[in-house]
Amino acid sequence: MSQSEAEIASQAERVKRLVEALNGVLFGQEELIDLVVTGLLAKGHILLEGLPGLGKTELVKGLAKTLDLETKRIQFTPDLLPGDITGNPVLKETEKGRSFEFQKGPLFANLVLADEINRASPKTQSALLEAMQERQVTVLGKAHSLPDPFFVLATQNPIELEGTYPLPEAQLDRFLFKLEVHRNDVKTLEQIVKNREIGIEPTIGSVLSHAEFTEITEAVRSIYLPDVVANYIARLVDATHRGQSTVAELIKFGASPRAALGLAAAAKAKALMAGHINTGFEDVEAVAVPVLQHRIIPEYETRLEGKTNAEVIRQLLEEVPRQELDLPTTLKSS
């Protein structure tokens, strides 16, 4: 169902209030916060990577307070088991005798903070695969639906640190965004020192109710995606595969169709945040790096040269034109 410009503008104003509240929680990270909100509006999971102490967990906790969503936190450790996340069958006495009853784990929440996700073993990380894709958990052959909405916001330390495991490619592909949390500059550090104390969390209240948040995510789905923009998304994803572009020579394995769907959803969310009823090329370009950078595997030579995945995607954006040369004039002007 399409919405009017006035309705979209109203939703954009609500989102603006949410972003402003989060900027009061994490100083000097405006771009990061903007992208986190974009990812949630697109109903996607988000992976935050950065060194310890940069505020990744504080951002997620602040987000939980501003939204009227049930939130649970899972601290990932090497000894964490899959059942510790999904839940386990528990033997109970009933009138008909003993029987197993499923006891839900911390995964059953609207917003799940998977803290330091890459400190758990690959077996435990794989417990999230079904949940993140199908929004359900299967235990002893029975499927249990997760709450709606359901988001995983995971934090991870760079893999060079001790005690970390690289996430499987299948799991990385289920994250809509991978965002890097950078260290603060001197001005921001000064602001933190003046306004924060160790062990005391910033005060922040609810900004959007559960119903309001749901209404906004539904509005995102109504944002129009022009054919010419859909074609641009398809060509960007296709260009990550060998033989389809010059940049693809730097990539061993390219992005999946799930990446194209994620790019479209994130671009729609970006358009709504700007108060637009149509998705534009600039919306796609604004989210291309966080959507695609973790979905490509670079060639060994690319890593040897010191090129990051983000740099490869930016180079791809420069190479792939917004419009194909053989598109009809009517489409070019739309």
Q: Give per-residue pLDDT as tens, 12-69.
A: 999 999 999 998 888 888 899 999 999 999 999 999 988 777 777 788 888 888 988 8
Domain boundary among 185, 203, 221: 221
**How high is the pLDDT of residue 333?**
40
Quote the mean pLDDT of the chain: 87
Residue 65 is predicted with a pLDDT of 86
The larger pLDDT score, comparing residue 325 to residue 273, is at: 273
Q: Are residues 75 and 210 in the same domain?
A: yes
Q: Please name the helix (run of DSSP H) or strand (run of DSSP E) that holds residue 115, with its range, or none.
A: strand 111-115
Q: What range defines the domain where residue 317 resides?
A: 223-334
Residue among 224, 82, 215 at smallest CA distance from 149: 215
Q: End of a domain among 221, 236, 263? A: 221
Helix (H, G, I), strand (E, B) or coil at 158: coil
Q: How many structural domains does the chain have?
A: 2
Q: Which amino acid is at 318?
A: E
CATH number at residue 298: 1.10.8.80
Residue 199 sits at φ, ψ, to 5 deg, of: 85, -5
d(CA 155, CA 159) in angstroms, rounded, equals 12
Q: Using CB atoms within 10 A of its CB, is residue 194 exposed (0-12), middle (13-18) or buried (19+)? A: exposed
- Asked whether the predicted pLDDT for residue 228 surpasses 70, the reply is yes
Written as one letter, the residue type at 30 is E
Q: Do 196 and 123 lie in a common domain?
A: yes
Q: What is the CATH number of the domain that holds 124?
A: 3.40.50.300
202 and 237 in a single domain? The answer is no
Global pTM value = 0.87
pLDDT exceeds cutoff 70 at 265 = yes
Rg, the chain, Cα only? 21
Q: Are residues 61 and 173 in the same domain?
A: yes
Residue 266 or 58, more confident: 266
Residue 73 lies in a domain: yes
Same domain, 232 and 212: no
Residue 94 lies in a domain: no
pLDDT at res. 52: 76
- Any domain includes 183: yes
Is the pLDDT confidence value at 334 over 60? no
Does 166 share its domain with 40?
A: yes
Q: List pLDDT tens digits, range 115-139.
A: 888 888 888 887 888 899 999 998 8
Residue 33 lies in a domain: yes
The pLDDT value given to residue 160: 59
pLDDT digits (tens, 9 = 90+) for 156-209: 877 655 667 778 888 899 999 999 888 877 887 788 787 776 666 677 788 999
Same-domain status, 227 and 194? no
The string of DSSP letters for 243-262 reads: TS-SGGGGEEE---HHHHHH
Single residue among 221, 243, 275 that ends a domain in this structure: 221
Q: For residues 229 and 284, give the distance between their C-alpha atoms in angstroms, rounded to a whole number.
A: 8
